[in-house]
Each structure stands twice: as structure tokens, then as C-alpha cells.
Amino acid sequence: MCGIFAAVSNEFVTSTLVGGLSSLSYRGYDSSGIVIVNENGLQRRRAEGKLQALSTLLAQNPVEGYIGIAHTRWATHGEPSERNAHPHMTDRVAVVHNGIIENYPDLKASLERDGYHFESDTDSETIPLLISRNLDKGMSPETALREAVSQLDGSYAIAAVFADEPQTIYAARYGSPLVIGQGAAGHFISSDSIALSRVARNLCYLDDNEIARITVNEIGITNAGGCTVSKELKPLIISQQDQGKQGYKHFMLKEIHQQPEVMRNTLNHYCDAATFTLKSEAFPANLSHFERLSIVACGTSYYAGMVARQWFERYACIPVDVDIASEYRYRESPFSPNTLALFISQSGETADSLAALRYSKEQGLTCLSLLNVESSSMAQESDAFLRTLAGAEIGVASTKAFTGQLLVLLLMSLQMGKASGRLDERAERELIQHLYTLPVEMAKVIDEMASIDKVAESLVHSEHTMYLGRGMSFPLALEGALKLKEISYIHAEAYPAGELKHGPIALIDNKMPVVMIAPPGPMMGKTLSNLREVSSRGAQVILISNGSGIEMARQHITQAIEVPETDALLQPLLYTLPLQLLAYHVACLKGTDVDQPRNLAKSVTVE
């Protein structure tokens, strides 16, 4: 949460800083601000609300210079307001911060005792005040920063500029990401590499406890002890596909349409297309040694784990637990030593998932992560990690990362089955061959979803909806309901269809639309019985099924979304698509901010 961007350049930097914040807005968007260092000292502009508010302010009250820091915020300590927006500053130093300072009450008390006054309600303001106190003791800017960060408990990525050293930006990190870019005009600092793509050609990542001193010509990095760290700058490679909306109205729609490509890239990474076999070397070597699998994640990634549980049970014959990270780490459940802990996270930075990973490591478990961001904290701290090949996901509501996770988890379950001898060569080849039809099938489903507009119209005025499904369609129902909640703000609940009569059926009346997910298969008959139960109580039923499922239920449904006939293996991946598109179209009809829904952020680095 929160995005940091900074620039020291031969050219004016204000528009570069705002451009950087625009790319980082997915990390938080309740306020933003910049500090420019120029002949008038540290010049600050801040505004509450989305980045446009800052742009408007800058048009009314411009500021320019060759060096500056910038921030886009997701509020943790202190309400979203201009007063709490970053940068926080004194007359000697300005700081932008991403992370949480856990010991800030103690630090604040100590600073206030020494006469340092807080203007905001944030934990972050502790940092410029600590630095200022050190400067007032006569320390140099670098020493003042080094001493200040040594007092912080929690996580931080920081960029700081000093009135006394107007040509330098300092950066420091512990637990929150920070990347330094080198471009033709100067140097840049960012919370992610994509935001650097407009200005930088090369990059390097700052590691925990390192401090960078950056001028227009030089990057100097030191470790906690002050010793120089030499880092290789690597070329910044961002695929064309990852840049901008590529003609789509929203990032979310672009990312929905990218899913066939994500499937293709994932298959090619983990499978051999010539032989339709798994590339065993693409997976960790010892997967078959484990007797239990413990999957831990948050949000959409958690639902991916719930879907995958059934694949691991079926193909790898391994018992599986699936936990929400924020619950798992406090549960103190007994671990068997032969448990593989698997963490699923798009960002690799989610605070609860990261904390759960650290907790599992302390318990002596082998920790594997499935991540979309290779440079993330979870990648660094896991024993091994697998990649989803979703590319940059900017829409706050996860789409392509989810289906990317599903496919890797399915392939991993097959690999575990293969490694333990439960999946023979013939079965492996048949399954992988089916999976290779996925990109084309997905593209077909996305293209043929024109009818979804009409279905969306019927939901747009609802206050509540219920999503029902059985088996793997239950976690899909949870994910579909989450998508609708996140971006359209319509209350949506999801239940296993068989659980309906144990309570939720009391909610059913003609004001409760029900989205029923019923792919063909052994569960279909039972799901259609549940469908009749809700329709006979007045519910407007939207059925997502194949042609014959829709035909069978015709008298009991108001609307239908048809998914083409497909192999059972592909069903969860294909049935996700109408759920994503339905939520998207409802949100568009409601006119909400699809890519930046209220109160949310993409990378949740607070517990």
C-alpha cells in the first residue's frame, strides 16, 4: 500500500513525479503529494483524493525543480486528508514512506518530550522528526537518516530530501519494496519497476537494511553497517502488453482479455508443448516427499487455493488445508514435520501472507510461494517460489492473476502426482493436451459474452445478490461475489449450494437475485435442484451453465449465461470469466471507479 516515486534529473521533475504516481496509483489513492527542492528550499504540494486533485492543485499553484519526492497514499494511521498526506516534513527534511512504524507511539512520545511537534496523525511523520532531531544534534543528513531508521520497528520504504543537501535523494528500505532506475536524464526511485519504464533504462532493487544516496550522476548504496554495497544495474524490461490500457476502457477489462495469453505463457513455462508433458525442472525437486499441504493466502489468492485443494487431493492424493493468512498465523495449529506450506500471493507483499510465511519458517516448515512479482519480499523469504506469468496486474480487482494462479496450481498438483507415481505418463499427456486448448477456449468465452450486458442490467439496481455453487464452483462463487462487492459495491454473499437450506434460504425473495454456477458434471443435477428451491421462493435466477444445463432449468431461471461445452479440467478456469465480466459490466453501469474502487488497495502491506 502506498506508492513512492522520486526523481533527481537534468530536467524539471514535477510532471515525471506525477506520471510516476499515476502508474503507482493502484497501491493507494486516497491522497497524494510531492516535495520539490529548489532555490526556495523544500516546496510541498498535497491534496486529498485521487491524483487528479494533486494535478489540479499543481496547475493552480505550480512548483518546479530538478529533484523531488512523491507519494500516493492508502490511509492506515490517520484519516485520508491533506494533513495526513505525504510527504511529511520539517524545514530541514521531507520524507515519503510506505509501510508501518510499529513503535511509533514510543518514538512520538520521545520526540514530543524533546519539543518536536507532530502535524499529522500518521506513524510516518515520526521519520522526518527523528531525522530532524538527529540533524539538530549536528549529524550529517546520511548519518541522521541511518540513525533514524535504526530506531524503527516495522516496515518501511523511504525516500527523503534535505534542505542542506539539495542535490541528493536518500532512500532506505526494510520490508517494503523500492527500486532504483537509471535513465538518460537522471535517477529515479519507485515502489515498482513498471512506474520507471517511462524514464529509466536500467534498474536495481534495494535490499532490506540498505541505504542509497542518489544524485543525478551517482548511486551509492551502503548496508546497515555503512559498508559500500556494489549492485549491478540490470536492463529494465517491461513488455509492451504491460504498459497502459492498450485501448481498453479500464485496466480490468484489458486484464480480463489478457487471460488467454497468460494461459499460453504459463503452459509454455511449465510444460513441453511438443510432448505434452510437464517440465519437471520448472518445479521444486522434492515435491513428492511431503505428506500434507498447507495453503495460505488472502483475498482472491485464497480462493485460488480453495479451488486448487480439490486438484491436489485428486491428482496428488495429498491432504490439504487452506487457510486465510490473517487467521492461520494466530491459530497455533500443530504442524506435522512433513507439511509443505504453500503461500499464494499476486503481489508477494501482502502483510498477513508474509507474516504467515515467516511464522511457518519459524515452525520449521518448508515454505514454497506462488507469486506474480519475482522481486517481492515473499520471493526473497521463501525456500522456493513458483511464478504466475500474469504480467503486471494494475486493476485492483484481481482477474488474470487469479486464473494464472489456478493454472500453475493445477500443473503443480499434476507434477506432485507424477513425482509420486500416482499420475502415469498417459494420463499426464492427456491432461496437458486438454490444457493446451485453454487459451483458445478462453478467448472464445470472452468473445462470446455479449449477452452479459443484459444480465448486468438486471443486477445494477439490486442491493444484495447471492452466488451459489457446489464443489469447485463454490470457491468460484466466492470469487464472483468478491468481484461484484469490490467494484460495484453491491452486497454479495456466496454459499455452497447444498448449504442453502441451513440458513441462507431465509434471505431468498424476489429482491434477491441468485447467480447459480452449474457446470456439467456429477454435481449438476443437485445444483439444479437447489436452483428450483430458490426460484420457487421468488428469486430471480441467473444460471451460468452449458447449453443443456440451461435447457434443463429453463422454466426456473430469469437469465442465463452460456459457457461452451468443455473438458471438466478446464471448467473452473472458463467459468471464472463470466463472473469477472458480470462484475465488470455491473460496475460500469453503476459508474463506479472500476480500477480504483473505494477503500481498497492492490498491495495490502498492513496487517
CB of 236 to ligand G6P, least distance (A): 22
Rounded Cα distance between 369 and 372, Å, is: 10
3-class DSSP state of 221: strand
Residue 267 or 397 with smaller CB distance to ligand G6P: 397
Which residues bind to ligand G6P, rule: CB under 6 A? 298-301, 345-347, 350, 353, 396-398, 600, 602, 604
Residue among 108, 418, 483, 602 flagged as catalytic: 602
Instruction: Collect contacts of 388-391 with beta carbons under 8 A, ≥24 apart.
Output: 388/262, 388/266, 388/346, 389/262, 389/265, 389/266, 389/269, 390/258, 390/262, 390/346, 391/239, 391/241, 391/242, 391/258, 391/262
Alpha helices in 61-182 (DSSP H): 104-113, 126-136, 141-150
* Residue among 233 and 600 whose Cβ is closer to ligand G6P: 600
DSSP secondary structure code for residue 314 in this structure: I
| H-state helical runs in 239-376 | 251-257, 259-270, 299-311, 325-331, 351-362
Cβ of residue 593: shortest distance to ligand G6P, in angstroms? 14
Distance CA 556, CA 312 (A): 35
Q: Residue for cell digits 525437486?
A: 285
Nearer to ligand G6P, 6 or 297 (CB): 297
Report in angstroms how near the CB of residue 99 gets to ligand G6P at its nearest. 16
**Torsion angle (degrees, nearest 10) of CA 316, 319, 325, 326:** 170
Burial of 330 (0-12, 13-18, 19+ CB in 10 A): exposed
Q: Which amino acid is at 554?
A: R
Residue 249 known to be catalytic: no
* Residue closest to ligand G6P when measured from CB atoms: 299
Write down the least CB distance from residue 86 to ligand G6P, Å: 21
Please confirm, yes or no, whether 245 is among the known catalytic residues: no
The burial of 70, by beta-carbon neighbours within 10 Å (0-12 exposed, 13-18 middle, 19 or more buried), is given as buried
- Pairwise CA distance, residues 336 & 338, whole Å: 5
- Closer to ligand G6P by CB, 190 or 535: give it: 190
Question: What is the smallest separation between the CB atom of 194 and ligand G6P, expressed in angstroms?
Answer: 15
Three-class SS string for 396-408? CCCCHHHHHHHHH
The HSE-up count of residue 95 (CA atoms within 13 Å, CB side) is 30
Tell me: cis bond preceding 597? Omega within 30 of 0 counts: no
SS3 at position 384:
strand
- Tell me, what amino acid is at 451? S
Q: Label residue 480 left, alpha or beta by phi (over 0 means left) and psi (-120 to 50 means alpha).
A: alpha
Distance CA 587, CA 554 (A): 27
Question: How many Å apart are CA 390 and CA 304, to the nearest integer?
Answer: 14
Complex with ligand G6P: residue 350 or 473, whichever CB lies closer:
350
Cβ 355 to ligand G6P shortest distance, Å = 12
Reduced to 3 states (helix: H, G, I; strand: E, B; else coil), residue 540 is coil
How near is the Cβ of 255 to ligand G6P at its closest, in Å?
A: 12
- Closest to ligand G6P by CB, 398 vs 576, is 398
The distance from CA 215 to its chain's CA centroid, rounded to whole angstroms, is 32
- Residue 131's H or E segment, with its range, is helix 126-136
Tell me whether residue 182 or residue 353 sits nearer to ligand G6P (CB atom): 353
Q: Could you tell me the three cell numbers for 550?
A: 440451461
Cell numbers describing residue 100: 508501518
Nearest-angstrom CA–CA distance, 549 and 528: 8
Of 219, 241, 239, residue with least CA distance to 231? 219
Among 395, 300, 347, 401, residue whose Cα is nearest residue 595: 395
Strand ranges of the sheet holding 366-371, from the earlier edge strand across to the other edge: 320-324, 292-297, 339-345, 366-371, 384-387
d(CA 397, CA 42): 37
Distances (CA, A) of 131 to 90, 148, 283: 9, 6, 46
By C-beta, is 238 or 606 nearer to ligand G6P? 606
CB of 212 vs ligand G6P, minimal distance in Å = 26
How near is the Cβ of 575 to ligand G6P at its closest, in Å?
A: 19
Task: Provide the annotated active-site residues.
Answer: 2, 602
